[in-house]
Structure 1
Amino acid sequence: MKIAFFTETFLPKVDGIVTRLTKTVQYLVEAGDEVVVFCPEGCPDTYMGAKVIGVAAMPLPLYPELKLGLPGPAVSDALENFQPDLIHVVNPAVLGLGGIWLAKTNNIRLIASYHTHLPKYLEHYGMGMLEPLLWELLKAAHNQAVLNLCTSTAMVKELSEKGIQNTALWQRGVDTETFRPELRNDNMRQRLLGEFSDEGSLLIYVGRLSAEKQIERIKPVLEALPNARLALVGDGPYRQQLEKIFQNTATNFVGYLSGEELASAYACGDAFLFPSSTETLGLVLLEAMAAGCPVVGANRGGIPDIITDQINGCLYNPDGKNEGSESLIQATQAILGNESQRLSMRKAAREEAEKWGWRSATNQLRNYYTDVIDKKYDGQSLSN
């Protein structure tokens, strides 16, 4: 097959969407498919045998790390030269809309996928009143596609309820070779602790430091558990505010880590806290679990697909008393309070992650592609 991706985010940016895309491209090429990726400028020219075409882009005001590509004639010419069997638009915005238009005008089969729960982000930036309008725009874009893929059962259900048609599940995946428990070591643990002593439990968060991630919800946990320490791995526009919020607490801002250092950081945590209630999936949770770290996540969005409460981690209610702080404290205590239970959760977390390899996820995607190209898809939900 010949597949053209249109994505609003790609390398060198690092996030869950880029991780999924890079792994997908890798396994598509290994399977013998030809792949072209259209993405914002600043990208490499090639990746794992796929051609990557950078498009002039401008930063999104609320999300400066996200650049909106502006498709021009060069994109149309490159697509005509490639002659794809199918266009896959990832999180359609400006560049994605260009991909949708090119698919329609050139009679190319079109798939779209939904990864970022933007309507729910709006309330964290003081623009919640625009949520109904954004859903209408998303519906208009996604309903141009033959098939709309979501990364969790909750998102399949929610998009269907919002009027987005022909939804199906694109199964989760994680790199269990990179992320593994054996990378736990004293040197990385001390790096995560920073100036704080290793006398209690080490809580970790990995991801973008931004308002919608609701990281400030971890502060009451530190106040309730005075022997706990927190390592925040990552960076983003909310860092300065978070430094003020967590002032005078046992919190270390580690910054970005990648590769084996990141995998080691996951493995060194006693519990991974992910308070966000806006996640379509939460790939970092799977990475933590692959590293054998028990996780705490919100009982919202795609997270319950990953966490089996009290087995491989704990779910908390983000809408409970004091904006979920009591529930988050209790979930964290459930992991930290019983050593034998925590060890059991570490083992169960790894076992859950081992079920979800990227090769399997990409094989499922290729089956969707084949059915769409062969026009076997009749507008009803495909089997998941």
Structure 2
Amino acid sequence: MLTRKRHGRVIELSKPPGSMAGMSATAAATANILVEDFAPARRSLRIAVVTETYPPEINGVAVTLARLVDGLRARNHELQLVRPRQPSEAAAAHQPCQPCQPDAGGDSDASSPTAMDEVLMRGLPIPRYPQLTLGLPSKKALLARWTLRRPDIVHIATEGPLGWSALQAARQLKLPVSSDFRTNFHDYSRHYGVGWLHKPILGYLRKFHNQTQHTMVPTEALRQQLAGFGFQNLCVLARGVDTERFHPRRRDRALRASWGAGDDTRVLLCVGRLAREKNLLQLVAAFEAIQQAGIDAKLVLVGDGPARAELQRRCPQALFAGTRSGVELATHYASADLFLFPSLTETFGNVTPEAMASGLALLAYDYAAAAQLVRPGENGLLAPKGDGTSFVRQAVALAADPVRARGLGLRARQTATTQDWERLIEQVEQVMMSAMARV
């Protein structure tokens, strides 16, 4: 007789007829075998991810989404990545919807269960950001592709024309959809002289996300804000950070020397798009106040964007390092001393945990990732949201106290090590399963 233990109970399983024949008495006496009830293998999903931006484009959405895609593939899910063809690929001999292989850093083995089908769609450069591409409407192409090979779920990361096409195609095919709220486009309008577009943009975003089964947001504060605007089906999923890449050990004295920084120089760093919505004139004001206090300091800005020329005129002493990525970006972080982040338009702000993982003393406004990760006075500093006077005052005090800054940086690093990507990927899986159950 076989016995099977299931959830604390022993279930008897009959032996096949004649299976006891020819057995010795001892063997027959031990024929009651306990069979462990192993958990079933995790289900492998076919996931279509739709986005307007992806590496090698460099921005928070692209970098985070790439990490999510890699994590899902590593967990044996079959990924289809739908995105616009980027400028560097414009001359490639592919037709719209032609699958191509991942880049050199990915898994190009098409027979692998984690191989990725990368689908390139038509796109146009975004005004003021020619290095980025906006996807064009592609509903018919997506309907044809997904009718031929249905995904289990469609995940939409951006709300542009390509994202809207994917949403409408998925709804027509009755496919479950999850989405990300990653960019405060409605708030951006106020920085470009078109504040009257705030309500229409917010209305479009609400209409978009309320047609999905779940919308993932990175913080509880953002969930509450969007719920107040009428957004539904919101769930909070924070973002992880690569604590092996972003690490204090990457500090480089030669790089600091190239900035004209000695051992006692306070290097102030800011990383991100150089654009009006990033509130970078507040950063310049803090740097100038630090200089006026007689502190030996350098300001390094990593990134690029339409406001670069204006910032160079406003602060010619600043060092503009341009766009950096990978280990080079991590080295820039670790080679600084303070991270000043004045932005007021983030949904999360990936640079916050990256700076903390790099062991930098951080000053930011009390919202988004900083509000979630920073314990003021313990592992960083926070200024009340929008209080520029407090931001400048705290920046000067932090630059004047290198011992305190080092202590904040050490504890910031400890906090960053708890932001595990593996845990986040598991949570995304759970959200996707829940979305599938709601269709």
Q: TM-score, normalised by structure 1?
A: 0.91
Mapped contact 1:2–1:34 kept (Cα < 8 A): yes
In structure 1, the partner of 2:193 is 126
- Write the deviation string for residues 315-371 of structure 1: whole angstroms up to 9, x where unpaired: 123533xxx1x2122222343333332222111111111011211111110111122
In structure 2, the partner of 1:11 is 55
In structure 2, the partner of 1:83 is 150
Counterpart of 1:124, as a letter, is H
Q: CA offset at residue 148 of structure 1?
A: 0.9
Q: CA offset at residue 127 of structure 1?
A: 0.9
Identify the match of residue 403 of structure 2 among 323, 336, 340.
340
Distance 1:318 1:372, change over 3 A: closer
Instruction: Please give the alpha-carbon distance, in whole angstroms, between the structure 1 residues aligned to 2:284 and 2:376.
Output: 22
Instruction: Please give the alpha-carbon distance, in whole angstroms, between the structure 2 residues aligned to 1:260 and 1:8.
Output: 25
In structure 2, the partner of 1:381 is none
Q: 1:9-48 alignment to 2 at 5 Å?
A: 9-42=53-86, 45-46=101-102, 47-48=106-107
- Write the deviation string for residues 114-133 of structure 1: whole angstroms up to 9, x where unpaired: 00111111111111111011
Mapped contact 1:298–1:316 kept (Cα < 8 A): yes
Higher RCO by CA contacts (8 Å cutoff, separation 6 or greater): 1
Distance 1:66 1:160, change over 3 A: farther
User: Secondary structure of 2:227's partner?
Assistant: helix
Instruction: Please give the alpha-carbon distance, in whole angstroms, between the structure 2 residues aligned to 1:182 and 1:304.
Output: 26
Instruction: Please give the alpha-carbon distance, in whole angstroms, between the structure 1 residues aligned to 2:153 and 2:196.
Output: 36
Instruction: Please give the alpha-carbon distance, in whole angstroms, between the structure 1 residues aligned to 2:411 and 2:267.
Output: 19
Q: Tell me, yes or no, if structure 1 residue 200 matches structure 2 residue 265.
A: yes
Q: Tell me, yes or no, if structure 1 residue 54 matches structure 2 residue 120.
A: yes
Mapped contact 2:153–2:175 kept (Cα < 8 A): yes
Instruction: Please give the alpha-carbon distance, in whole angstroms, between the structure 1 residues aligned to 2:254 and 2:130.
Output: 34
Instruction: Please give the alpha-carbon distance, in whole angstroms, between the structure 2 residues aligned to 1:12 and 1:147.
Output: 28
259-268 vs 59-68, which moves further: 59-68
Q: CA offset at residue 196 of structure 1?
A: 6.1
User: Secondary structure of 1:225's partner?
Assistant: helix
The RMSD of aligned alpha carbons is 1.8
Instruction: Please give the alpha-carbon distance, in whole angstroms, between the structure 1 residues aligned to 2:208 and 2:240.
Output: 26
Mapped contact 2:338–2:360 kept (Cα < 8 A): yes
Q: Tell me, yes or no, if structure 1 residue 68 matches structure 2 residue 141.
A: no
Q: Tell me, yes or no, if structure 1 residue 217 matches structure 2 residue 282.
A: yes
Q: 1:1-384 alignment to 2 at 5 Å?
A: 1-42=45-86, 45-46=101-102, 47-48=106-107, 49-72=115-138, 73-191=140-258, 193=259, 195=260, 199-226=264-291, 227-247=296-316, 249=317, 251-320=318-387, 324=388, 326-375=389-438
- Write the deviation string for residues 52-107 of structure 1: whole angstroms up to 9, x where unpaired: 11111112325444422114333333323331010111121211101110110000
Instruction: Please give the alpha-carbon distance, in whole angstroms, between the structure 2 residues aligned to 1:61 and 1:339.
Output: 42
Distance 1:81 1:176, change over 3 A: farther
Instruction: Please give the alpha-carbon distance, in whole angstroms, between the structure 2 residues aligned to 1:334 and 1:310.
Output: 12
In structure 2, the partner of 1:380 is none
Counterpart of 2:101, as a letter, is D
Name stretches of at least 5 consecutive residues in structure 1 with no aligned partner: 378-384
Aligned residues: 368
73-82 vs 356-365, which moves further: 73-82
Distance 1:232 1:213, change over 3 A: same
Instruction: Please give the alpha-carbon distance, in whole angstroms, between the structure 1 residues aligned to 2:77 and 2:269.
Output: 39
Instruction: Please give the alpha-carbon distance, in whole angstroms, between the structure 2 residues aligned to 1:121 and 1:315.
Output: 23
Name stretches of at least 5 consecutive residues in structure 2 with no aligned partner: 1-44, 90-99, 108-114
Q: CA offset at residue 34 of structure 1?
A: 0.5
Instruction: Please give the alpha-carbon distance, in whole angstroms, between the structure 2 residues aligned to 1:65 and 1:257.
Output: 14
Counterpart of 1:68, as a letter, is L
78-87 vs 149-158, which moves further: 78-87
Distance 1:302 1:342, change over 3 A: closer
In structure 2, the partner of 1:382 is none
In our comparison, the structure showing a higher alpha carbon Rg is: 2
Counterpart of 2:116, as a letter, is A
137-146 vs 53-62, which moves further: 53-62
Instruction: Please give the alpha-carbon distance, in whole angstroms, between the structure 1 residues aligned to 2:132 and 2:222.
Output: 22
Instruction: Please give the alpha-carbon distance, in whole angstroms, between the structure 2 residues aligned to 1:224 and 1:244.
Output: 18
Q: CA offset at residue 156 of structure 1?
A: 0.8
Mapped contact 2:272–2:304 kept (Cα < 8 A): yes
Instruction: Please give the alpha-carbon distance, in whole angstroms, between the structure 1 residues aligned to 2:261 and 2:358.
Output: 23
Counterpart of 2:391, as a letter, is L
